[in-house]
Amino acid sequence: MSYVLAEVWRSSVSHHNLQVLILSSHIECVVLALSQVGESIFMSFILVVWFGLIVTVTPSGCHQAAYVSNSQSSKKNNNDNNNSRLNNNDKSDQGRRRLVVRQHSLEPPFPNGVCGGRIVTIPPEETFGIDVNLANINFGGNLILPPRPLRVWLPPDYKYQEGKGVGRGQQQREDKDLHRHPTLYVHDGQNAMEDSDSWTGTSWRLTGALTRMADRGVLRYDRIPIVILLPSMDGDLVPGIRRRHLEYGDSNFLFSQAHADFVAKTVKPLIDSRFYTMPEAEHTYTMGSSLGGQASLHLMLRHSDLFGGAAALSPAFGPNLIQQVSSSTRLLKDKKIYLDMGGDVNDVKVPWVDVLDHLTSEHWWNPGYFWLDTQLQGGLESMKSALNRAGVLYQYKEFPGGRHNERAWAQRVHVSCFFFCSAFSLPLTPIELTIFSFPMQKQGSSPSFTW
């Protein structure tokens, strides 16, 4: 108990420092705005006009590039038709031209919302209410993991209603096997799909990226992944100690261990029994950003028999998880691990003011912890060293100047999706690396490489 209290105190101090930095950054922005009112009005007018020209919002945006005009879209469709008429004897050239089309098709921004799919909400009674392990450790009521509903995104190509088939007996089993989907378990799920649900007013637009990848034919699966949106818990355990920091904390936290076990032993069996999934580990992935990235890697490491890949965007890694990874060669063998980071890189710095962070209808005043990637680079380097020592292959992508918020992750969420679900084998060929702007660099004798 004393150890838990010590960790809680450390989290409280860290949270207090973050709050001070956030307050000071917002004060700076307000002072700057007040001192340049005239210029701001003029620039706002220019930005509104510019933003309206480059962003096109359509009801069917999930099935077309939302950032191009109608004429451009028509021209792109003509290019697609031309590509389809290429000589079959020149298959390599045909593939190369299609890749060029795909490059432009996959650029953000991606569509917002359910994108032709639908949401199924699972009440807490069906998950938290049946978890025997939680019943044993949730002393004092719901101290460790308070109940909350989970949401499941079923993609547009999900064929049947949940738990139902079209036939009976053997026929039903065969039909179900033909229409199974891979699964993606997403931490901080409330920030992953819908802009209005995100705490910064901008989501990752993950479902938009997945549907666009499917539209452009770059998924290696016949079906789009089912996305399980795992919401982080709001509020404090005690004043100043965020529950999210505990549930997504280092791997030796009681709270984070309980969270990982809950997802693996309660949520995943429920999802696999209710929906048409590919339950095998090699088709089950998890992802998250910041502390959610740590929770994702921890979940895969703790339950390596159930999860085959983890993506961590701008991750905040703790020392205990790093130590565990360095000695987990067997558990992490053949796993897919994706890491990325923004922040200050050489001469490219994180801008202190980015107007586009505030052009949102919800929470327009909140740019998130935009500076934090630079401070997290040391922990990521330690994790990369641990993976190298363990001889584990992983993918790393650097985004110089990248900010630490949902809008920044929305600009690159397709990279992690591409890593999990691409029709191309990894590592990518030189042509594919050029098309998708992922320059690969070998890191000495390390088995890892950088995109």
Q: What is the DSSP string of 249-304?
A: S-TT-HHHHHHHHHIIIIIHHHHHHHS-B--SGGGEEEEEETHHHHHHHHHHHHTT
State the Cα–Cα distance between residues 302 and 296, nearest whole angstrom.
Answer: 10
Output the pLDDT for position 103. 47
Between CA 323 and CA 325, with CA 324 as vertex, the angle to 5 degrees is 90
In the numeric block, the tokens 């949902």 are attached to: 406
Confidence band, pLDDT 50/70/90 cuts, at residue 418: confident
Cβ count within 10 A of residue 70: 10
Output the pLDDT for position 447. 38
Q: Considering the domain 2-67+107-450 in this protein, what is its CATH number?
A: 3.40.50.1820
Between CA 244 and CA 131, with CA 305 as vertex, the angle to 5 degrees is 50
Between the two ends of the chain, the Cα-to-Cα distance in Å is 43
- Report, in this order, helix, strand and coil percent for the chain, each rounded to 5: 50, 10, 40
| Cis peptide bond prior to 155, omega within 30° of 0 | no
What lies within 8 Å, CB to CB, of 208 at 6+ separation is 61, 62, 66, 110, 111, 112, 113, 115
Confidence band, pLDDT 50/70/90 cuts, at residue 187: very high
Output the pLDDT for position 161. 55
437: exposed, middle or buried (Cβ count in 10 Å: 0-12, 13-18, 19+):
exposed
Token couple for 378: 């040391």
How does the average pLDDT of the chain come out, rounded? 76
pTM of the complete model = 0.74
* Report for 14-28, 69-83, 378-392: range of highest mean pLDDT: 378-392
pLDDT tens, residue by residue, 244-256 = 999 999 999 999 9
Phi and psi dihedrals of 122, rounded to 5?
Answer: -105, 115
Token couple for 85: 């008429």
What lies within 8 Å, CB to CB, of 287 at 6+ separation is 184, 185, 186, 187, 293, 296, 310, 311, 312, 313, 338, 416, 420
Token couple for 341: 């980071």
